[in-house]
Amino acid sequence: MSKAPHSDKVKSSQQYFPGMKNWKYIAINIFLIFHILAISTWCLPMTNPFVQVCRFAVRPYFVWTGLFQSWDMFSPQPETTNAYLEAIVLYQDGSTKIWSFPRMDLLSLNERYHKERYRKFVEVLLDGKNSVLWPDVARHVARLPGIRDGDPQKILLLARWSTIVYQDDGTFTRSPLDENVFYRYDVKPGDLQ
Amino acid sequence: MKANSFFDAWNGFFFAEQSPTPLALFRIAYGMAVIATLFLLHADWIAWYGPNAWVRLSTIRTMEPGPRLNLFTIIPQSDSWVRILFWVFLISAVCLACGLFTRVNSIIVFACLASIQQRNLLILHGGDTFLRVTGFFLMFAPAGAALSVDRLIRIWRGEEGAEIQPRRPWAQRMIQFELALLYFAGFCSKIEGGSWVQGTALYYVYHLDELQRFPIPPWFFRPAILRLATWFALVFEFSMGVLIWIKELRYPLLALGVLFHLSLEYSLNIPMFQWDVLAAYILFVDPVDLTRFWNRIRTRANRHLGQRVNVIYDGASERRLRTANMLRAIDIFGQLSFADLRDSRAPFDATRQDAQDELLVATNSGLRRGREGLCAIAGVVPLLWPLAILLRIQQLWAPRIAASSKAG
């Protein structure tokens, strides 16, 4: 009596995977269930403690394989400022030069499609949480052709920004451009080699 | 009863065999998206990934600690090695798109893609992430089961016939799941932000100078329109995440999704994102509908591709049969008809002796064989047109070369 439903179940499953070995079927199902649950808990914005524990548990695996993911484009809030990054280069002879990161709005259509990564990079750099990146960026600016040859001594990173002011009538207004030197780097002799 | 039906539904969804053609089309689109991404990165390859890049490898490892699949940590830190990695990646992506050594190349492409993303996590957008996570599941999928060089090799070896064999779609389902999750997670994240709920989010998005691409008509910036568009984006993302699984709603949603992403491609400068996502839409198309759609295109194309060519082969010969099967696989527009000499209904005046050593091609001017036969076939099968051009060039130059060598 008790065996009948079981054999029915086996029969109904075998119609989908004739010739598939049991261990393979079980392994694939474990793989599927694990990834569906792990990915869901990883990227859905949930804060309950169980989800946090799950995220912590799968983190090493996700980080190693590259399965980490977040789908938060323009969310929860889109950016509300237009921000730009420039580098002020101070040379040994006292002269200065301003080097600007590629600005998408000043590039041709073709160039901005190729250089868009710089937009994202600047967005990341202007976040104070990523200050660990600033020495590398300043060093890279010092090494750029056209800057390196003039024996740069100091690199200042300068942020310029203007806030988008929402207007009820749909017209566009922006606040006056503001600016701030947020990082100073002394170029070391080894940086230019 | 309920457990049984769930069990059946689960098995039906993940394990019921189906044509791998949508997956093969996804593989091609995926490979092309990777190639395009590499092409766009090419000029700044060393600037982003070289030993003296904008951000050094050691800094990234400090910022994002922990073991990661990152080939940059294995290869020597020099520009040359970084360039070699680029070319290996590119060649592998081309092979993946063509379906040559598909499994191996899907692994190489994933390893390289994960590596460049791990090497510089600061310049990624959602499209890059989507390529990476779908690339992971593509490694497990039978991506070379159709529309691939691998399949031609299998046919040539006699391991497969002309018909495409159905496969279990469990890995394909995971890629579909990722696509639906992309939208649903995006929706969940957006409703946490006030500007999306209030309907002002797109006002800010479209006034970010650096994201603008082609001009947008002024009427779009009317507050009511912007509000509707913002809410539409929310409704659309929810629908693509949840309602896409309902069969009756699937095609209208996919059509809406194509329009949605094309409008974003027009208006916002986020290179490749829309194409990376759209590539996965093909996985939601039922293989039966895909065949129907293709047949319609085939019928239209046949009007322009010239007269069909009859290929005669001796089915008793294993070698001839395999060649005929390869031609069947390559002939995606159905420009060839095949006749087995063993079949008494074969309407051609040829004997098995005629077709013993090679295929015969029946044309209006009679039976052709060898090079002439190949020319006739290559001329009507679009995938063989490059071969037709080569044969034609050879045909034009052969007499001149012969004459000059005689004169010499």
Q: Which chain A residues touch B203 with a CB distance below 8 Å?
A: 164, 166, 170
A172 vs B210, residue with greater confidence: B210
Q: Which residues of A touch B211 (CB under 8 A)?
A: 104, 119
- State the average pLDDT over residues B116-127: 95
Task: Name the most confidently modeled range: A36-50, B96-110, B146-160.
Answer: B96-110
Residue to mutate among B57, B68, B116, B210, with most A CBs inside 10 A, is: B210
Across A48-62, B348-362, B370-384, least confident range: B348-362
Q: Which of A67, A73, A140 has its CB closest to that of B54?
A: A140
The pLDDT tens digits for B281-328 are 999 999 999 999 999 998 888 888 777 888 888 888 888 888 889 899
| Facing residue for A133 by CB, picked from B55, B117, B182 | B55
Is the model's pLDDT at B350 over the cut of 80? no
pLDDT tens, residue by residue, B159-202: 998 889 999 999 999 999 999 999 999 999 999 988 999 999 99
pTM equals 0.90
Average pLDDT, chain B: 90
pLDDT at A170: 72
Q: Above 70 in pLDDT, residue B240?
A: yes
| Chain A residue nearest residue B220, CA to CA | A170
- Mind telling me how many Å the CA of A152 is from chain B's nearest CA? 17
If one compares B364 and A32, the residue with the highest pLDDT of the two is A32
Q: Closest residue of B to A5, CA-based? A: B4
Contacts of B195 in chain A (CB under 8 A): 77-78
Chain B contact present for A76, CB below 8 A: yes
How high is the pLDDT of residue B346? Answer: 57
Token reading at B302: 């046949």
Confidence of residue A114 (pLDDT cuts 50, 70, 90): very high
Q: What is the dihedral of CA B182, B187, B193, B194, to 10 degrees?
A: 150
- The percentage of residues in chain A with a pLDDT greater than 70, rounded to a whole number, is 91
Q: Strand, helix or coil at A6?
A: helix
Secondary structure of chain B in the HEC alphabet? CHHHHHHHHHHHHHHCCECCHHHHHHHHHHHHHHHHHHHHHHHHHHHHHCCCCCCCHHHHHHHCCCCCCCHHHCCCCCHHHHHHHHHHHHHHHHHHHHCCCHHHHHHHHHHHHHHHHHHCHHHCCHHHHHHHHHHHHHCCCCCCCCCCHHHHHHHHCCCCCCCCCCECCHHHHHHHHHHHHHHHHHHHHHCCCHHHHHCCHHHHHCCCHHHECCCCCHHHHCHHHHHHHHHHHHHHHHHHHHHHHCHHHHHHHHHHHHHHHHHHHHHECCCCHHHHHHHHHHHHCCHHHHHHHHHHHHHHHHHHCCCCEEEEECCCCHHHHHHHHHHHHHCCCCCEEEEECCCCCCCCCCCCCCCCCCCEEEECCEEEEHHHHHHHHHHHCHHHHHHHHHHHHHHHHHHHHHHHHHHC
- How large a percentage of chain A has pLDDT more than 90? 68
Kindly determine whether residue B189 and residue A71, on different chains, have CB atoms separated by under 8 Å: yes
pLDDT band at B349 (very low <50, low <70, confident <90, very high): low
How far the first Cα of chain A sits from its last, in Å, is 82
What value does the mean pLDDT of chain A take?
88
- A67 Cβ contact partners less than 8 Å away, ≥ 6 residues apart: A35, A38, A39, A42, A61, B133, B136
The answer on pLDDT for B257 being more than 90 is yes
Residues 15-74 of A with CB under 8 A from B: 16-17, 20, 25, 28-29, 32, 35-36, 39-40, 43-45, 60, 63-67, 69-74
pLDDT of residue B392: 83
Q: What is the ipTM of this complex?
A: 0.88
